[in-house]
Amino acid sequence: MSKCHLCHERPPALKRPKDGSFVCKQCFLDIFEEEVHQTIVSNKLFRPGMRVAIAASGGKDSTVLAHVLTRLDARHQYGVHFSLLSIDEGIAGYRDDSLAAVRRTAGLPPLDPLGLPLEVVSHAELFAGWTMDRVVQTIGQKGNCTYCGVFRRQALDRGAARLRADLIVTGHNADDIAETVLMNLLRGDIARLTRCTAIVTHTSGSDGPGDVPVVPRCKPLKYAYEKEIVMYAFFRRLDYVATDCVYSPHAYRGHARVFLKQLETARPSAILDIIHSGEALTTARQGTRLPTQGVCSVCGHVSSSRVCAACQLVDRLNTFEIPAVMDDAMPR
Amino acid sequence: MCSRPEELMTLDTHVGVATQAQLPICGRCKVRPVQFRVQESFCAECFIFQVCLKFRVAIGSSRPFEGGTRGGRLPPRTAAPAHLRLPSLRRFAVAYSGGFGSTVLLDMLLDQSLVALRRRPTDSTGALATVSPDDCPIGLLGGDGGNDPRRAVRPPTRCLVLHIDEHASYLGTPAAAYGPFAVGLAEHVARFQSHAVFVCAPLELVLDRELPCEADLVAFSQAATLQQWYATSEDGAIPTHPASSRRSHQPRMSVRALEALAPALDGPRTGDGPSAVDASPGPLGRLGSLRAQLREAFAACGSVSARDDLREQLRWLLLRRLSRAFGCNLLFSGDTKTTLASKTLSLCALGRGFMLPVEAGADDWRETDFLVTRPLRDVSTKEACIYSQLRGIPSLPASLPLGMCPAPYIPGQGNSSLIGLSNAFIARLQQEFPSTVSTVTATALKVTTDAEHFDPAAGPMKPCLLCLAPVPEADIQPTVGTRSPIGALAEIATTERLCYGCRTLISECD
C-alpha cells in the first residue's frame, strides 16, 4: 500500500471507510466531491434558477455540505442560488457556538469564506417563546427530542418560505439515514420507514388560512459516510462545532447509533447495505393504517391530524399538561 | 444454527410450585395459583395452553392448501400469492436445529398428548380435558377439497425431522465435539418414532449434485451410527488461511470461493430424486472430500459476518433440497418472535431487506410448489424456554459446542458478526424496552416489497443462484470474473444472477 489506489503517484493519506481503498488527500477530496455531484445529477436534485436553502446548524455535516455545494456549483454551473438557513432552538452553551460557526461560514464580518445570505429562524419567535431550554425546564430530560424535532422541522419550512426557497438541502449523511431506518424498524413507524430513505421528500402544498407552503427537502450527502465527512472537513480545515447537543444523551436514537457503529466495525459496508434494505421497504401491506396528510386548522401547516404536532405541543406546554404519549424514549 | 438468546442469561427460569396462600390466582383458569409471569400471570397448565394456542392460531392463519377452508366456514388465505400452487399436503418436514424454538415446535407437532389441550383446563385438580384421539393439531393445516380438516391431514408417511450438521463450517470445531449434540438430537426425536423420522445431514452435502436416498440418510442418522461416525470421523487438515477482514477496494467475484461453491449453485433445484445406487461411493461416501471443500469455502470468507451469512444460505438451500427430494412440500421452521426480530435487523444489515417480508414474515413463498412456514412467530424464545422446562424437554442447546454460537460483540475483538450483533442488541434492548421484540416483528409483517409477488415462471425477476431470492431489475449489476471460469462458474459470472446480499457476501470472500 505504498501508493494511492487512484492516482498511483502520491502516498495514501487515509483508508476510505466506504470501500477500504487507500487514497491520498487530493484524490479523496476529489472523489468525495465527485460522488456528491453524481448523487445530485443522477437524482436530478437541482435545476437552473432554483433557490436552494442549505439547512446549516454549524456542525460538520451542514458545513461540509455548504462548502461542497458551493465548490460544485462553481465547477459544474448548476445555475442555482444558494442561501444558508439556520434554526436557533435556544439551547444555551450549544446553539450559540454553532450559530457563530454558521455566521463565519456564511461570510459575516470579519471573515468571508462563502459569501452566502444567511437567515436565522428561532424557536422563540415562532413558537410563543418556547426555546428548548425552557421546554426542558418544563418537562424534564425525557421526551425533549420530540419537541425539538417537531419544532425544528416546521421552523425549516417557515425559514425557507422567508427565503422564497424552492428546495431545502440538509446534511443528513449515510450514517444518519441508516440510523433512521433502524430506529423506525425498532419503533414500528411504518409511515416513516417507507419514506426515510427517499433522497427527496415531497410534501404537498396546502390551501387555507395561515397557509404555509411546504418546501421539498433533499439529502445530497445520502451516500457519504460520516467518517468521510469528518475527514473532508479536516482536510479542508473547515470551521464547525463538534459538540453534541446537551439534551441528546437520553434520546432513543442513541441506541440505534451504538448498534450501527458496532455493525460498521464488523462490516464497513453495513451502512450502505442498511440504506439499500430501507429503499426496498417502500410500501406498507394492504390494510395497514397509515396517517393521511391534511392541513393544520390553526397554522395551515401540513399535518396528519386536525391540529399539527407543533401546535399541539405548544398548547400543551402553555397549559403545563405534558402527556406521556409523546415520550421520545419509548418505542411506539 | 440454534441460538443462545442472550436474554436467557438473565432469565430466572426457576419455576417453582408456590402454595395457594402465598401467590395470587392465575388470571386465566381462576383456579390454580400463579407460578410465574411472562407478560401475564400464569399457572403452568394455562401457560402451556396459551403457547399451544398461539401455535394453533398461527398454523390456522396459514391455510396454504386449496380447499383448506374448514368446510367453507373460513375464507381462503388472502395473502397467498396468486402463483402459488400447493394442491394438497404431500408430506411435511420440520427444520430441527436443537434450539428452544425447533424443540418446542417438534413437541407441539408430534406429541399427541398435546391434542388434549384443545380445551382450556378448568378442572380444579388440573386434569386436562379429554378429547378424541383422532384430533390432531396438524389438522389445522387445512384439508383436501373442504373435508373435515381434523381428519383430512394425516400424513401417509412419517414426517421428516431434518437437522443440518454445520460443525464443518466452524473451522475450530472438530467432529468429536459435535457428536454428543447430534446423538442427543437423534435420541430426542426417537421418542416420536411412530410419527417422525430423523435425518441428520452434514452441511457439506449441499456441495454435491447428488443427494443420498432417504433410506441411506435415515440409517446414517441413527443414534448409534452417529455416535460411531463422529467418534471415528477424521477432520483432516483444517485450512489455516487467515480470515482477513479487509475488503478489496473493487468488489469482485472470488473465483476461489465460487469454485468451492459451484456444485451447490449449479446443482439441480427442483425434483431432486434419490440417487441411484451404483458402484461409486454415494454422497455419504464422499463426505470427507466434501467437508474439505466446504472448509475451503468458509476459510475463503473474509469476515465472521460473511461466514455466518454463507452458513445460513447453505443451510436453507440444503433443507429445501432434502425436503423436496424426500417428498415434502411443506417445511416448518421453529423461528420464534425473538429470533425473527433479530433476523429483521440482521437482514437489513446484510443488505437483504428486499426479502424481509419473506424471510422474517409468516411464510416463505419464494418457491411456488414449496412452502416454509413459521408457526411459532408469536411465541418468544423466553416462552419457548419456559415451555420446554414445564414439558420436561431436555435442554439440548447446553451441549452445543461454544464455538458454534454466534459471537456476541466484544469490544476490541474482531470476532463479531452482524447476526451475532443483532441477536445481542435485540436481547439488550428488550430488557430496557419490553415491547421491542413485538414491535419489530409486527413491523416486519406490515411492510412489503416486490419479493412477495415473485413468480419464478414469469419475468422479469429471476431467482438468485445462491439463496433463490428474487433479484429485482434494479439490483442486477455486471459481475466481474477474474478469469475465464469453466462450467457453472461461467454461468455465474455472466448471468448476474445474484441478489444484492449474496453479491456482497461473495465479494467479501478472498
- How far apart are the CA of B503 and the nearest CA of chain A, in angstroms? 11
Band (B453; pLDDT cuts 50, 70, 90): low
Q: At B454, list the grid cell.
A: 415473485
Band (B11; pLDDT cuts 50, 70, 90): very low
Look at A277 and B305 and tell me if their CB atoms are within 8 Å. Answer: no
Interchain contact A269–B (C-beta under 8 A): yes
Residue A306: predicted pLDDT: 79
Q: Which residue has the higher pLDDT, B145 or B379?
A: B379
Using alpha carbons, select from B501, B336, B378 the residue that is nearest to residue B3: B336
Q: Which residues of A touch B352 (CB under 8 A)?
A: 277
- How far apart are the CA of B452 and the nearest CA of chain A, in angstroms? 10
Q: How far apart are CA B15 and CA B488, in angstroms?
A: 55
Which of A269, A278, A284 lies nearest to residue B353, judging by beta carbons? A278
Q: Which residues of B touch A269 (CB under 8 A)?
A: 247, 351, 504
Contact yes or no for B291/B54 (Cβ under 8 A): no
Contact yes or no for B469/B355 (Cβ under 8 A): yes
Res. B433: pLDDT tops 80: yes
- How far apart are the CA of A2 and the nearest CA of chain B, in angstroms? 15
Q: What is the pLDDT of residues A244-269, one digit of tens each?
A: 676 666 678 889 999 999 999 889 99
The pLDDT of B269-295, averaged and rounded, is: 61
Res. B473: pLDDT tops 80: no
Look at A284 and B446 and tell me if their CB atoms are within 8 Å. Answer: yes
Nearest chain A residue (CA) to B419: A263
Selected residue of A277, A285, A288 to mutate for chain B interface (largest B Cβ count, 10 A) = A277
Res. B73: pLDDT tops 50: no
Look up the pTM and report it.
0.82
Which of B345, B449, B504 lies nearest to residue A185, judging by beta carbons? B345
Residues of chain A predicted below pLDDT 70: 1, 94-96, 107-113, 202-213, 244, 246-250, 284-291, 320-332
Three-state secondary-structure class, residue B352: coil
**Which residues of A sit in the known binding site for ATP?**
55-57, 61, 87, 171, 176
Q: Which residue has the higher pLDDT, B498 or A263?
A: A263
From residue A159, how far is each of A58, A156, A165, B335, B493 by CA, in Å? 16, 5, 9, 50, 52
The pLDDT of B263-274, averaged and rounded, is: 45
Interchain contact A21–B (C-beta under 8 A): yes
The pLDDT of B147-169, averaged and rounded, is: 66
Query: Three-state SS string across A87-112, please?
Result: EECCCCCCHHHHHHHHHHHHCCCCCC
- How far apart are the CA of A216 and the nearest CA of chain B, in angstroms? 25
Interchain contact A49–B (C-beta under 8 A): no
Instruction: Find the radius of gyration of the CA atoms of chain A.
Output: 20
Residue B477: predicted pLDDT: 59
Residue A297: predicted pLDDT: 78
Residue B35: predicted pLDDT: 81
Q: How far apart are CA B31 and CA B33, in angstroms?
A: 7
Res. B75: pLDDT tops 70: no
In one letter, which amino acid is B330? L
Among A113-127, B207-221, B357-371, B418-432, top mean pLDDT goes to B418-432
Residue A109: predicted pLDDT: 43
pLDDT > 90: what percent of chain B? 15
Q: How far apart are CA A78 and CA A294, in angstroms?
A: 34
Nearest chain A residue (CA) to B502: A273
Q: At A28, list the grid cell.
A: 479523496
Q: Which residues of B touch A182 (CB under 8 A)?
A: 345, 348
Residue contacts between A and B (CB atoms, under 8 Å): 124
Interchain contact A142–B (C-beta under 8 A): no
Residue B327: other Cβ atoms inside 10 A: 16
Band (B470; pLDDT cuts 50, 70, 90): confident
The pLDDT of B328-355, averaged and rounded, is: 93
Using alpha carbons, select from B368, B386, B379 the residue that is nearest to residue B333: B379
Start-to-end Cα distance in chain B: 24
Nearest chain B residue (CA) to A21: B249
CA-angle at B303, arms to B298 and B304, nearest 5°: 80
Using alpha carbons, select from B8, B40, B9, B6 the residue that is nearest to residue B25: B40
Which of B356, B418, B504 lies nearest to residue A281, judging by beta carbons? B356
Q: How far apart are CA B252 and CA A277, in angstroms?
A: 21
Look at A263 and B349 and tell me if their CB atoms are within 8 Å. Answer: yes
Question: β-strands B470-471, B462-463: how paired?
Answer: antiparallel
In one letter, which amino acid is A286? Q
Among A74-88, A137-151, B31-45, B365-379, top mean pLDDT goes to A74-88
A286: left (phi over 0), alpha (psi -120 to 50) or beta: beta
Residue A178: predicted pLDDT: 96
pLDDT > 70: what percent of chain B? 61
Residue A224: predicted pLDDT: 95
Which residues have a Cβ under 8 Å from the Cβ of A322 and sit 6 or more positions away? Answer: A138, A139, A143, A316
Contact yes or no for B65/B59 (Cβ under 8 A): no
Hunting for cell 444567511 — which residue is that?
A: A118
Look at A186 and B446 and tell me if their CB atoms are within 8 Å. Answer: no
Q: At B392, list the grid cell.
A: 420436561
Selected residue of B247, B309, B443, B509 to mutate for chain A interface (largest A Cβ count, 10 A) = B443
Interchain contact A255–B (C-beta under 8 A): yes
Q: Which domains does chain A have, with CATH numbers?
A: 36-241+250-291 (3.40.50.620)
Q: Which domains does chain B have, with CATH numbers?
A: 36-66+86-114+156-230+284-459 (3.40.50.620)
Look at B436 and A331 and tell me if their CB atoms are within 8 Å. Answer: yes
Q: Which residues of A touch B247 (CB under 8 A)?
A: 19-20, 268-269
Q: What are phi and psi of A196, to 5 degrees?
A: -70, -20
Q: Which residues of B touch A279 (CB under 8 A)?
A: 353
Q: Which residues of B touch A278 (CB under 8 A)?
A: 348, 353
Which of B351, B418, B433 lies nearest to residue A276, judging by beta carbons? B351
Q: Which residue has the higher pLDDT, A84 or B302?
A: A84
From residue B211, how far is each of A122, B169, B182 by CA, in Å? 70, 19, 20
Interchain contact A112–B (C-beta under 8 A): no
Selected residue of A183, A186, A193, A272 to mutate for chain B interface (largest B Cβ count, 10 A) = A186
Residue B281: predicted pLDDT: 55
Q: How far apart are CA A182 and CA A196, in angstroms?
A: 10
Look at A281 and B247 and tell me if their CB atoms are within 8 Å. Answer: no
From residue B401, how far is each of B3, B170, B173, B176, B232 by CA, in Å? 12, 10, 8, 10, 18
Q: Which residues of B touch A266 (CB under 8 A)?
A: 303-305, 409, 416-418, 421
Look at B247 and A283 and tell me if their CB atoms are within 8 Å. Answer: no
